[in-house]
Amino acid sequence: MPVPLAFAAGPVVPARATNAGMVAQIALDGPIGPAAAEYFDDASQRAVADGAVAIVLRLDTPGGLADSMRQIIASMLACKLPVLVYVAPGGARAASAGTYILYAGQIAAMAPATHVGAATPVPLGGATPMQDANDKPAATGSSAKDKPADGEDAESHKVLNDSVAYMRSLAQLRGRNVQWAVQAVRGAATLTASEAAQQHAIDFVATDVADLLARADGRNVQVGDRSVTLQLKGASVRDYSPGARTRFLAVITNPTIAYLLLLGGIFGLLLEALHPGAMLPGIVGGICLLVGLYALQLLPVNYAGLALMALGVGLLVAEAVIPSVGAFGAGGLVAFVIGSVMLMKTGVPGYGVNLGVIGGLATGAAALLALVVWLVFRSRRAHQVNGDVAILTEFGELLEPVSTGGEAWAMLRGERWRVRCDSALPAGARVRVVRRQGLLLWVEPV
């Protein structure tokens, strides 16, 4: 099961000069989400407090949530230290939200065999209008191309234009290629590291962190309203790992984990309701449900999917409590699977529930439903074990002799019954029940 956010440390550059200062390294590997935003904000503040001279933000991401991306960029722009965004190691990418973050850094660099781009936003509802990557929209303002065509979703078009303007503002702020930045958003254009350097989408290509610091050394960058000359060659690098809260947030905001927490909470509370006093299912279920709901409010949730999941679970429980020969169960299983697939906004990289988990749970639920239906049909063919019909098939043994037409005690199914017989029988004789009147049984010899 993939983890949506992993924190990794890059190579540490040994200090080559005692007065070169310290550079803080923050690594974001995986989808950009609430945990990533909190991690960067916390680590950058710690770096400032520790006297770092710059921050290296090592990036490898397929994209992520727009709100979290904007939170990271806001922290970068407000930071008192220059931020060097470095897409690494080889094979890494700064796709979608990563492209915006790369453009926001005072220094933008990439390792060989990395790529950047495909920054088109994917809204929850409707398709995003796109143009070909070869289109050349105006660098500033809006154009006729910014107007939605007939039938296009107005909301998604507004999201697209907002993203174009945001990327353009970052490119202008850092003096980078505005035209390609717009193409990356509007047409999902991509570049390799060498191509990005040639088109001035980044500052340079660096083989490792030491090379990054050496190439950035001596450059003038703008940090807030200050112009700063970077002095980084030979600086020591300190890795800033995420805190316990951030690690916990990274785990629970994994869509698959949040999904399982939600289900665990629902079924835990149902078990407690069906078996009052068990306590453990209710306690665990309540905790799981609250943590799962907290995670869901941080994630791009489709509430129609959540409602379908709740309906599915309710119908499955109804099938177990009020057997309907599979009608409730089949409907509940279909609603549960459809709701699970719809639950997360799968258009956002890394933010879909693992389909293998959904398939496994659906298979388990289907097997349980089949077992319930089989037991229902089996019970219909089984012999009745209580009532007049059941007792008329029973055999017993007299505990005392009985006279003709008299009464005596007999043992039937481990119980003492008062019996009457039309024939005289000795104690220990085997008898069969022929009819019942209240608590008195009529028997005959076997």
The verdict on residue 130 lying in a domain is no
Domain boundary among 243, 266, 301: 243
Residues 250 and 226 placed together within one structural domain of the fold: no
What is the CATH classification number for the domain harbouring 175? Answer: 3.90.226.10
3-state secondary structure of 313: helix
- Model confidence pLDDT, tens digit, residues 135-183: 444 333 344 344 444 445 677 788 888 999 999 999 999 999 999 999 9
Q: How does residue 239 score in pLDDT terms, banded at 50, 70 and 90?
A: very high
In the chain the first and final C-alpha atoms are separated, in Å, by 67
Question: For residue 129, what are the contacts with CB-CB under 8 A and spacing of at least 6?
Answer: 148, 149, 152, 153, 156, 157, 160
The interaxial angle of helices 327-343 and 355-381, nearest 10 deg, is 170
The verdict on residue 138 lying in a domain is no
Residues 343 and 313 placed together within one structural domain of the fold: yes
Q: Closest by alpha carbon to 329, among 340, 315, 343, 349?
A: 315
Whole-structure pTM over 0.85, yes or no? no
And the tokens for 52? 């770092």
Domain count along the chain = 3
- Model confidence pLDDT, tens digit, residues 29-44: 988 988 899 999 999 9
Residues 35 and 119 placed together within one structural domain of the fold: yes
Residues 200 and 249 placed together within one structural domain of the fold: no
Name the β-bridge partners of 220.
229
Residues 179 and 263 placed together within one structural domain of the fold: no
| pLDDT value at 76 more than 50 | yes
Determine the pLDDT at residue 94: 95
Please state the rounded mean pLDDT for residues 5-25.
Answer: 55
Determine the pLDDT at residue 138: 39
- Model confidence pLDDT, tens digit, residues 257-277: 888 888 888 888 888 887 887
| pLDDT value at 26 more than 80 | yes
Q: Which domain holds residue 422?
A: 388-445
Q: How does residue 347 score in pLDDT terms, banded at 50, 70 and 90?
A: low
Q: What is the mean pLDDT of the chain?
A: 82
Residues 279 and 416 placed together within one structural domain of the fold: no
